[in-house]
Structure 1
Amino acid sequence: MTHTMQTAPEPAAAPATGGDAAPLEHRAAGCLVGAAVGDALGGPVEGWTPDQIAARHGGRVTGIVGPFHEDWRTARPIAPYHKGDGHVTDDTLMTHALVRVYEKVRDHLDAFDIADHLVPDLIGTPRWIPELEDEALPLQRIFLAEKWIVARLHYGHIDPREAGVGNIVNCGAAMYMAPVGIVNAGHPDRAYAEALDIAGAHQSSYGREAAGVFAAAVAAAFAPDATVASVIGHALRLAKDGTRAAIEAVCEAATLYTGYESALVPLRAAVAPFDTVGPDYRNPSLGARRPSRLHAIEELPIALGMLLACEGDFRRTVLGSVNYGRDCDSIATMSGAIAGALHGVAAVPAEWATEVARASRLDLHAPAAALATVTREIFARDRARRRAHERTFAALTEG
C-alpha cells in the first residue's frame, strides 16, 4: 500500500458551533461529533467480547486505544485496516456521505436520491480513509453489505425502492441514519418514514426497520424537553415486530442496572433471542442476517439499553457501548449520536473529539454545521408546503 498521509486535509482548528450558536446547531454537532467519537473508540475492539477486551487492555477501555493487534496490517480478520488510534470507520464515512447528499438535494431524501447522489459519491470521489492511511474511493473501504448499494443501483439498475431486497440483513443502513434524524429534528414520525424510504435502497427486513427507528430516536432527542425515557418511548412507539420486542427486552433489563459494568452481560442475554448472528460474533450462525419478522439487529437495542443504564451520560454511554464488544463501533456510533443530540456538543469530551479529528484528518464539526443549515431550509419548505395544503383543504371544505 502506498501511503500519502501528507496529502490528507487537516481538520479545522476550531469547532463550527460557537457560544452563540442556536440549540439546533449545538445538538447537530453533538449528534454527529458524538457519533464519530463513538465510532473511533469502538473500532479497535470490534468483534471481541468484554473479557477479551479487558484482557487485551488490562481492564475496561476508558478512551482512545490502539489496534487490538499491533501487526494490524496482516492480522486477521480485520487486516488491512488500521482500526484504533482515533481512526473513524465506515460508519462515519457513510454518515458524512449522507450529509453530502443532503447538501446537494437540500430537501427530504428518498431511495432515488441514494441512487442519484450517494452512489456517485462512493465511486467517483477519492477521500481520505483513516483506516487505510491514504486517499481512496469510499467504495474500497465500505463493507460488502454497503458495496451492495453500488452493485445493485449502479450496475444492476434495480428500482432503488427495492434494491435492498436480497442483501444480508445487518446494521449497515442504520449506522449512518443520524443525519435523517437531524433533518427531522423534533419529528420522529417523519424521520422514521424518511429513513425507511432511504434505507430501501440498501436493506430489507429488520435491518431497514432499525434504520427507521434509529433516525426516529435521534429526531426525538432534539425535542427541548427530551429525556432518555422519551427517546426510548418514541422508539418503542414506532418500532415493529422483532425490533420492538428486542428494544423492549433490552431496555427492561437495563432498568435494573446503574452504569455499564454490571449491565454488559445482562444486556447481551436480553438481546440474544432476537440476534441472528449468534454467540460467536466472528462465526455467524447458519441463520444469520436473513430476513425475519421475529428478529432484530443487535446494535440499536444495545445502544438504547446503554443509554438507559448510563442515564444518558455521554461518556459512560459510549464507554459502555465500546466495552460491550461485538459490533461495538456501530453500537457506540448510535449511542453517541443519541446522547450527543440529547445534550449538545458540550457533552462530548473535548479531548476525544479533538484527537479523533486530528487522527482521522477530518473536520468533525463542518458536516454538522452544513446539515443544520440544510435542516433550516427544509423546515422552511415544509412550512410552505403545509400552508399550501391548508389553503387547498380549506377551499375543499368551506362553502
Structure 2
Amino acid sequence: MSREAADRYRSQVRGCLIGGAIGDALGAPVEFWPADRILAECGAQGVRDYLQAGTAPITDDTQMTLFTVAGLIRAGIRRDRGLGLTVAVVHAAYDQWLDTQRLPEPPPTARDWLATQPWLYAQRAPGNTCLSALGSARRGGDRIPQYGGLANNDSKGCGGVMRSAPFGLLPPNGAPDTWFFDAAAEAAGYTHGHPTGRLASGALASIVHELVAGADLAQAVDTTLALLTRYDDHEETSTALRTACDLAKETTTPDHTVVEQLGGGWVAEEALAIAVYAALVRPGPNEILDALSIAVTHSGDSDSTGAICGNILGTLHGDAALPAELVFRVEGRGTILELADDLVFEFTQSSRLHGDYGPMTGWTDRYSG
C-alpha cells in the first residue's frame, strides 16, 4: 500500500467510526419524537446541532460498533494461530459489551483495552433484542458463553445493521467481495435471527467495502444490490434499497415526508434505506451535515439512521470532511479515533505488532486475541 493510499485508508476508517458517532449523538435526543415536534424545536431545517449542552452522548449503536472493531482486531491476532479470521470472536466482544450494560464499571477480569474504558459503562437505551440474545448465549453451555451461534429469535430490528460498518472497513487484500457481506451478516445473526436483519447488515458492510475500494456511493449501492440477489430472502432489503435510490433521484427538496416513505428505521432494511437515501441525496463532502440532518429528522429511530449515514459518508470522504462543530463535542472521541487507528495497525502492519515468534510489543495484552 502506497503512502498516499495508506493515508486515505486511515482517514476512511477514522471517518467511518467518528462519522457514525456524530450521527448517533445527533439523532439520539429526538428518537421517538414526531417530526412536527423536531421541526418546532429545531427549526425548519431539522436537527443540525446537538441538543445537549457540552459533550454529546453516544448510544448503544456506537458502543456496539466499537466492540465490533475490537472483536475484529482480536480476530486478526488469532490468525497467528493459523485459525483464519474467525467472525465468532466478534460475538465474544459483544459479550464484553453486555458487561457495560450490566455493571457500573469495568470488572477486575476485564483485559482488553476497550473493555477497561469506564465511560462505556453506561446504559444508552440498549436494544432488548441484543440484551436478550447475548444474555441467552452467556447462559449456555455450563456457564461458558457460546460464541458463533444464530440467535433464537425472528427479529429484524436495526440492532444488527447499526453496528455492521466495521466489517466493510477491512482492507480487501484479495478477499472475495462476498466475505465482507457474509461476515457482517453472520455477526448480525448473533442477536437478530431474521434473514432481513442479517442481509441488511451484510449490505451495509458491502457498501462500506466498496467505498474503501474506491467506488463512489452510487456505484457502491449498485454493486451491493447486485450482490444481494445471490442470497435467499433478499427481497425486503433489495426493495428498500431500490426505493431509497429512486427517491434520491426524484427528490429536489428532501424533507421528513420523503424520508418517512421509507419507514421509521426501526427495522433493519428501513434503517439502511433511510441512511442511504440521505447520503445519496446529499453526497458531497461539504454536504455531510445536510445529509445527517435529513437522516435524523423524522418520526423514527433517528440515532440509528444517523449513525449509519455517518458511517457511509465518513467512509466516502474521510474524517477531515466531517463537521468539526460536531466532531469536537462527541462523547468518547479520543477512544473512537484511537480504536480506528488500532484497526488500521492490525490490518496493515500486524507484522510489526505480533507474530508466532514475536515481536513482543504488548499488542496482545491490549487485545487478548
* Fold match by TM threshold 0.5: yes
Tell whether the 8 Å contact from 2:87 to 2:183 is kept in structure 1 after alignment.
no
Q: 1:202 aligns with which of 191, 195, 200?
A: 191
Aligned CA distance change for structure 1 residues 149 and 20 (closer, same or farther; 3 Å): same
> Which residue number corresponds to residue 268 of structure 1?
260
Partners in 1 of 2:182 and 2:253 — Cα distance? 33
The amino acid of 2:152's aligned partner reads: V
Q: Tell me, what secondary structure is at the counterpart of 1:363?
A: helix
Q: 1:314 aligns with which of 270, 275, 288?
A: 288
Q: 2:51 aligns with which of 65, 73, 76?
A: 65
The amino acid of 1:213's aligned partner reads: A
The amino acid of 1:56's aligned partner reads: E
Deviation digits for residues 294-339 of structure 1 (CA, Å, limit 9, x no counterpart): xx63100111111111134322111110113411111111111111
> Which residue number corresponds to residue 8 of structure 1?
none
Partners in 2 of 1:207 and 1:154 — Cα distance? 21
Deviation digits for residues 60-103 of structure 1 (CA, Å, limit 9, x no counterpart): 22111139xxxxxxxxxxxxxxxx95111111111111111122
Q: 1:119 aligns with which of 95, 119, 122?
A: 95
Tell whether the 8 Å contact from 1:314 to 1:339 is kept in structure 2 after alignment.
yes
Q: 1:340 aligns with which of 314, 317, 320?
A: 314
Pairing 1:234–2:223 present: yes
> Which residue number corresponds to residue 28 of structure 2?
43
Partners in 1 of 2:208 and 2:69 — Cα distance? 15
Tell whether the 8 Å contact from 2:265 to 2:272 is kept in structure 1 after alignment.
no
The amino acid of 2:183's aligned partner reads: E
Q: 1:252 aligns with which of 221, 236, 246?
A: 246
> Shift of the alpha carbon at 1:22?
1.1
The within-5 A match list for 1:155-174 is 155-157=139-141, 160-166=147-153, 168-174=155-161
Partners in 2 of 1:250 and 1:52 — Cα distance? 25
Pairs aligned (count): 317
Kindly, what percent of the aligned residue pairs are identical? Answer: 26
Q: 1:220 aligns with which of 183, 186, 210?
A: 210
Q: Which runs of 5+ in 2 are unaligned?
A: 107-117, 229-233, 353-369
Q: Could you say which structure has the larger radius of gyration?
A: 1
The within-5 A match list for 1:351-362 is 351-357=325-331, 360=332, 362=334
Pairing 1:368–2:360 present: no
- Give the TM-score normalised by the residue count of structure 1: 0.71
Partners in 1 of 2:281 and 2:181 — Cα distance? 24
Partners in 1 of 2:265 and 2:321 — Cα distance? 34
The amino acid of 1:315's aligned partner reads: L
Aligned CA distance change for structure 1 residues 169 and 378 (closer, same or farther; 3 Å): farther
Partners in 2 of 1:228 and 1:173 — Cα distance? 22
Aligned CA distance change for structure 1 residues 165 and 338 (closer, same or farther; 3 Å): same
